Structure 1
Amino acid sequence: MKVVHVVECFAAGTAHFINLLTQYTSCEHVVIHGERADETSAETVKAKFPQGVKFIHWHHAQREIKPGQDVKALTELIRILKEIPRIDVVHLHSSKAGFLGRAACFLLGIKQVIYTPNGAPFARADVSPKKKSLYILLEKLANKLSGQVVCCSPSEALSYESIGIRTSFINNGTVLPAIPAPKTLVEPGEPFTIVTCGRITEQKNPTLFNQIASSFIHQQEVKFVWIGEGEREQRSVLNAANISITGWLPKEEVEKTVSAADLYLSTSLWEGLPFSVLEALSLGKCLLLSDCVGNKDLVKNDYNGFSFISAEEAVSKIKWLMQNRETLHQMEKNSREWSEKVYDIKVVSRQYQQLYAEIAGKSIVQHLQAL
């Protein structure tokens, strides 16, 4: 099968997700991609993909809604798709590629189309109600053109069902690292370390992270670590003295830092199904996650951590976990076991392989019927 991936945001979690699909599904993969040079260059992202993947630069793709530029991007995408022989499946990733891709496929008569939002645009908490209404209108319009919506988490699927769009879901997955060694007993004076990982943006809600950390400013035995980087304005929000910002680290260092921590904290406002949390889950971390789309799928209260709504609630849970280390360690074991059963990329990739085959098979049958 030849699977053509279309993505505007060729960076961070979305690019990682496509990378995993190219590694773990037995298909010929073509990636039509934009570039977010302010985050990372396309060449840097491409270097992490397996050999044999073909890349085509989608020059006019960009994030914001700009009608003139979007018409150019649509025209370019139509031209690119027309030049690719024998497409079995088109897999669209993220909202901009999802809209323009479904429009292009409709105009070209391509029906074997999947759209994975990886973060519903209308679930964003940083846009006005008017803009959310526009996003909902665009999603409904594109849904009538072509393809099927396959969300990356149950809660994302429910958010689409709530606006009247029928959908299914296949969870995001991750490569399971070696099982971490069991933690030894806490040494006297050893700090209780709380870690998060991701780009410092409004979506990740650094204001709430800082508020939680500030509640422990006078307790030297508690420290917070943010693995990642961001714009100066967002970075400056993390000003509590007990927060360390490491910047971006090599993957091995990220795993080492997360493994050594006592608790993984996410304060996100919205997500799809976050890879940073999936990886913490696979490393056997107890999770403390904000109750938002995506996050709520990865934590079961009293099983592998807790969800929370307010800073006060998060602070209360941290204090409770500090006093109940045996329960915390059991939650760590539960995280790893759950990850192995549900979020192993080998499990997830088999589901996508089957879906691709079903869609490609339907396309072949339709073609034969036409003949």
Structure 2
Amino acid sequence: MDTVCHVITQLELGGAQEVALHTVSHLDPTWFTPILVTGPGGLLTEEARQISRVQVAMIPALARAINPVRDAAALIALVRFFRHCRPTIVHTHSSKAGILGRWAAWIAGVPVIVHTVHGYGVTPAQSRWLQWALVRLERFTGWITTHWIAVSESDVRKGREWKLFGENISLIRPGIDPQPFRQDVGRGARERIRREWGMQPNEWLVGSVACLKPQKAPEDFVTVARAVCAAMPTTRFVLIGDGELRSAVESRIREAGLENRIHLAGWRRDIPDVMRAMDVFLLTSHWEGLPRVILEARASGLPIVASDVGGTVDALKGYQQARVARVGDVDGLSKELINTVDQLISSLPDRPQPGEFPREFHIDEMVRSCEMLYGELIQKWQIHAHRRPDKTLRSELNSRH
């Protein structure tokens, strides 16, 4: 049985965290022993600890903020942990854990090192010199990376442009379980949730689910809401999430005079019910890997208006109820949103119904693809190390999937 360590900086609510958590909790226990390595804090930490078959290892020094002393301590702690548990595979997620985790695995002699790109840590919000330095750090770390996983075609293209990898790259989508989003909560439950947010029966609700941080551009959400509310007084907006920009968003709402039109709901865990209470989903992100929340909105059958960022177009391929605008184009997003609500009004009383959900975005397909990749990488390592390849693992995974 092979030990697989998934490493992520912090178990906050987010797509990368949910992907890592679901993967470790659903790997075939007859072939893999999963360990989740993370830093302290994060709303998903307790949920992870409740999974009986997954060991959660806490590295106190592992944190998102860059701190040379603390980062060095995290690197040393990771090396010690890997030497102790002797994993066959270390699989890292996110930028900080991706750099520290891969170098710690290499120093500890871990034979297979995998990294998933959930959107690169190189962002438009950074200075040019910092972007230059981060690309070269990723390229340097790529030398010790056995295999890369990308969640979107755009990340594959960008990685090739930056010369991060050659052929050692796989496209594995960050899947979801669509079933909870396709179950109608019923009119009573839908109206109850809408009343919580001050909705009137004849109003249209535009919503989003996002951490309030620069990546998600929540201030653009407010700007779009101001334009749409001015043109369509029967619209209201709800933003599910919290984060570092909450105060700035609240100030922007007050400046726009939209205190009664935009509701900041904080974090909620009943996202399938929340989605069914919305009429339109809005994504204003400035950079992404592949936003799983778009998949959730699609599974719910919601009309979607989104910025054309990262893997958004991948997630919306073949979906007829989607409109996109350029990243940061609040006028374009506002126009597309007004057109979408107009279309909903003209189609009353019918509500859009979910269509067929693409198989490649199912969460069990994501886990299956990871297991198959692990099997291939382990077999290659065994051959390279002049060990007898475990053909049983590969054949069993093939037959099971």
Q: What TM-score range do you get, normalising by the shorter chain?
A: 0.7 to 0.9
Specify the alignment match of 2:3 in structure 1. Answer: 2
Specify the alignment match of 1:90 in structure 2. Answer: 90
| Residues in 2 aligned to 1:305 and 1:328: alpha-carbon distance in whole angstroms | 18
For the residue of structure 1 that corresponds to 2:208, the secondary structure is strand
Specify the alignment match of 2:21 in structure 1. Answer: 19
1:227 is matched by which residue type in structure 2? I
Q: 1:304 to 1:81 in 2, by over 3 A?
A: same
Please give the per-residue CA displacement for 1:104-153, whole angstroms capped at 9, x wherever unaligned. Answer: 2222332311101212011x232211111111011001001232211122
| Residues in 1 aligned to 2:70 and 2:361: alpha-carbon distance in whole angstroms | 38
Q: 1:162 to 1:336 in 2, by over 3 A?
A: farther
Specify the alignment match of 1:248 in structure 2. Answer: 267
Specify the alignment match of 2:248 in structure 1. Answer: 234
Pairwise CA distance, 1:189: 6.0
Specify the alignment match of 2:147 in structure 1. Answer: 148
| Residues in 2 aligned to 1:60 and 1:285: alpha-carbon distance in whole angstroms | 41
Contact 1:285 1:336 in 2 (8 A): no
For the residue of structure 1 that corresponds to 2:366, the secondary structure is helix
Specify the alignment match of 1:46 in structure 2. Answer: 48
1:107 is matched by which residue type in structure 2? I
For the residue of structure 2 that corresponds to 1:9, the secondary structure is coil
| Residues in 2 aligned to 1:112 and 1:221: alpha-carbon distance in whole angstroms | 55
Contact 1:301 1:307 in 2 (8 A): no
Q: Is 2:98 aligned against 1:107?
A: no
Pairwise CA distance, 1:182: 11
Q: 1:346 aligns with which of 354, 364, 369?
A: 364
Specify the alignment match of 1:162 in structure 2. Answer: 161
| Residues in 1 aligned to 2:333 and 2:371: alpha-carbon distance in whole angstroms | 39
Name which of structure 1's ranges 3-12 and 102-111 shifts more when overlaid on structure 2. Answer: 102-111
Specify the alignment match of 2:179 in structure 1. Answer: 177
Specify the alignment match of 2:39 in structure 1. Answer: 34
Contact 2:25 2:34 in 1 (8 A): no
Please give the per-residue CA displacement for 1:44-88, whole angstroms capped at 9, x wherever unaligned. Answer: 2424x5211011111221223332222221111111000004x22
Specify the alignment match of 2:305 in structure 1. Answer: 288
Specify the alignment match of 1:71 in structure 2. Answer: 72
| Residues in 2 aligned to 1:355 and 1:327: alpha-carbon distance in whole angstroms | 46
| Residues in 1 aligned to 2:186 and 2:63: alpha-carbon distance in whole angstroms | 45
Pairwise CA distance, 1:330: 10
Specify the alignment match of 2:325 in structure 1. Answer: 308
| Residues in 2 aligned to 1:297 and 1:142: alpha-carbon distance in whole angstroms | 27
Q: 1:112 to 1:322 in 2, by over 3 A?
A: same
| Residues in 2 aligned to 1:344 and 1:330: alpha-carbon distance in whole angstroms | 27
Q: 1:189 to 1:11 in 2, by over 3 A?
A: closer
For the residue of structure 2 that corresponds to 1:61, the secondary structure is coil
Specify the alignment match of 2:121 in structure 1. Answer: 121
Q: 1:53 to 1:328 in 2, by over 3 A?
A: farther
Q: 2:206 aligns with which of 194, 208, 212?
A: 194
| Residues in 2 aligned to 1:256 and 1:336: alpha-carbon distance in whole angstroms | 18
For the residue of structure 2 that corresponds to 1:113, the secondary structure is strand
| Residues in 1 aligned to 2:146 and 2:85: alpha-carbon distance in whole angstroms | 19
| Residues in 2 aligned to 1:329 and 1:100: alpha-carbon distance in whole angstroms | 54
Q: Which runs of 5 or more structure 1 residues have no equivalent in the other structure? A: none
Please give the per-residue CA displacement for 1:329-361, whole angstroms capped at 9, x wherever unaligned. Answer: 99955x642x34221111121111101111122
Pairwise CA distance, 1:230: 2.5
| Residues in 2 aligned to 1:308 and 1:329: alpha-carbon distance in whole angstroms | 28
Pairwise CA distance, 1:273: 1.7
| Residues in 2 aligned to 1:57 and 1:189: alpha-carbon distance in whole angstroms | 48
Please give the per-residue CA displacement for 1:270-309, whole angstroms capped at 9, x wherever unaligned. Answer: 1122222222122222211111113232224872301112
Q: Is 2:341 aligned against 1:322?
A: yes
Contact 1:177 1:283 in 2 (8 A): no
Q: Which runs of 5 or more structure 2 residues have no equivalent in the other structure? A: 188-199, 390-401
Contact 2:82 2:110 in 1 (8 A): no
Pairwise CA distance, 1:248: 1.6
Specify the alignment match of 2:57 in structure 1. Answer: 56
Contact 1:209 1:267 in 2 (8 A): yes
| Residues in 1 aligned to 2:106 and 2:219: alpha-carbon distance in whole angstroms | 42
1:354 is matched by which residue type in structure 2? M
Q: 1:369 to 1:357 in 2, by over 3 A?
A: closer
Contact 2:113 2:144 in 1 (8 A): no
Please give the per-residue CA displacement for 1:160-196, whole angstroms capped at 9, x wherever unaligned. Answer: 1221122332010011224244999xxx962121110
1:228 is matched by which residue type in structure 2? G
Specify the alignment match of 1:215 in structure 2. Answer: 227
Contact 2:11 2:17 in 1 (8 A): yes
Specify the alignment match of 2:216 in structure 1. Answer: 204
1:271 is matched by which residue type in structure 2? E
| Residues in 1 aligned to 2:313 and 2:350: alpha-carbon distance in whole angstroms | 20
| Residues in 1 aligned to 2:315 and 2:33: alpha-carbon distance in whole angstroms | 31
